[in-house]
A and B are shown apart, each in its own frame.
Chain A
């Protein structure tokens, strides 16, 4: 399989993760596009022993961190900043998507990343740790916090703290 084919095969997975991570389709596809460009540039550095998927996710993670750092973004989004719900045949699905977008946006980014890599992308804990460049123990503690916090948010229990991320 050529480098292009191997990378193209991962695009749907990258789009799903980016969509859930950023909460917005356009922002997500911008992130995917940047990730693909970087991956093709760096392809010759990629070692065959490594799985291509965690490698691509780690490129995306680094770009996402850079973008947020540059923007000096506040780790919080207004309701009207959240994505429009795409037209879906079943309204219930659309509502669930909207609820999850909101709830995920209220998680700190580092918790959201772990939750999505494990719960949605089904990476192993070791792969998630390599992708994010953190120890596996940190993956477990973030996963734990993310799950209990998401549960509280979805149950309407917690008023999440707004956390300002310093530039």
Chain B
């Protein structure tokens, strides 16, 4: 029943990778094959000389240039700052050019809802330690607080069926006062944000609109008293599905 001893077995023997049963068989076989025994010993001695030659590196102090900065990676931070600056530039240019453009009647165009939502998304989703002000573990407090500040009942929608759990929420300054942001995260650590902005009462435009702000997919719509914008980077199809899920929970 013993499988014949292969060269792979001999390497595995030299590397201490055999299980106990196979180890016994290979040892017995090697006892009667001295030329292979010598071969295996030579391989082991190669590995031992590699250790003698290079293990000293393990004890050397690590050069300072190799140590990553204490907090997050600074390269990552710089990239993020540059990205947010780029988005903000769009806001500034848009504001400067506002007189040149024909005034649109849609409240969404005036409010630049998707743009503001994308900026807030880019700022807060990379946060490791402080992604939200109030965590989902204090949901009653979160709901009470944000509802009071925004002046209307506001409850974060559930996206658990799509694999996203609520991380929590925060209050942000918006163009017309206070704005709420809810954050969600899935098992793969991919994050979504829902930006909720109080709207002037006359606005009732429940159709979905889509914007891509520098790679961030944003679906936005107006529903009675609030403008909503769901931002993420999981692709347009996926975002539409998630936005639909959010929207369904707002409808009575």
A interface residues with partner B (beta carbon < 8 Å): 4, 7-8, 11-13, 15-16, 19-20, 29, 32-33, 36-37, 40-41, 43-44, 47, 86, 88, 93, 96-97, 100-101, 115-116, 118-120, 122, 124-125, 140, 143-144, 147, 150-151, 154
- A33 — which chain B residues lie within 8 A by C-beta? 65-66
Contact at A37–B73, with CB atoms within 8 Å? Answer: yes
Which of under 10, 10 to 19, 20 to 34, or 35 or more describes the interface residues of B? 35 or more
Q: State in angstroms the CA–CA spacing of A15 and B56 once bound together.
A: 10
- CA distance in complex: A101, B52 (Å): 12
Within 8 A of A (CB), among B16-63: 17, 42-43, 46-47, 49-60, 62-63
Q: B residues touching A (Cβ–Cβ < 8 Å)?
A: 7-8, 11-12, 15, 17, 42-43, 46-47, 49-60, 62-63, 65-68, 70-73, 75-76, 188-189
Q: What's the A-B contact tally at a CB cutoff of 8 Å?
A: 97
* A residues less than 8 Å from B65 (CB atoms): 29, 33
Query: Is the CB–CB distance between A15 and B57 below 8 Å?
Result: yes
What are 13 A-B pairs with beta-carbon distances under 8 A? A4-B70, A4-B71, A13-B58, A20-B54, A36-B66, A37-B73, A96-B53, A97-B53, A100-B49, A115-B46, A119-B15, A147-B46, A150-B46
Chain A residues with Cβ under 8 A from B60's Cβ? Answer: 12, 15
**Shortest Cβ gap from A19 to chain B (Å):** 5
Nearest 7 A-B pairs (CB), nearest first?
A: A40-B73, A119-B47, A16-B57, A97-B53, A120-B50, A12-B58, A100-B53
A44–B131 Cα distance when bound, in Å, is 15
Asked if A29 contacts B63 (CB within 8 A), the reply is: yes
Given the contacts A4-B70, A151-B46, A124 and B56 also touching, CB distance less than 8 Å: no
**Complex interface: chain A residues within 8 A of B71 (CB):** 4
Question: A88-B56, A96-B53 are known contacts. Are A37 and B66 too (CB-CB below 8 A)?
Answer: no
Whether A8 lies near B67 (C-beta < 8 A) is: yes
Q: Contacts A37-B75, A40-B73 hold; do A125 and B54 have CB atoms under 8 A apart?
A: no
- CB <8 Å contact, B70 and A16: no
Task: Give the nearest-CB partner of A47 in chain B.
Answer: B188
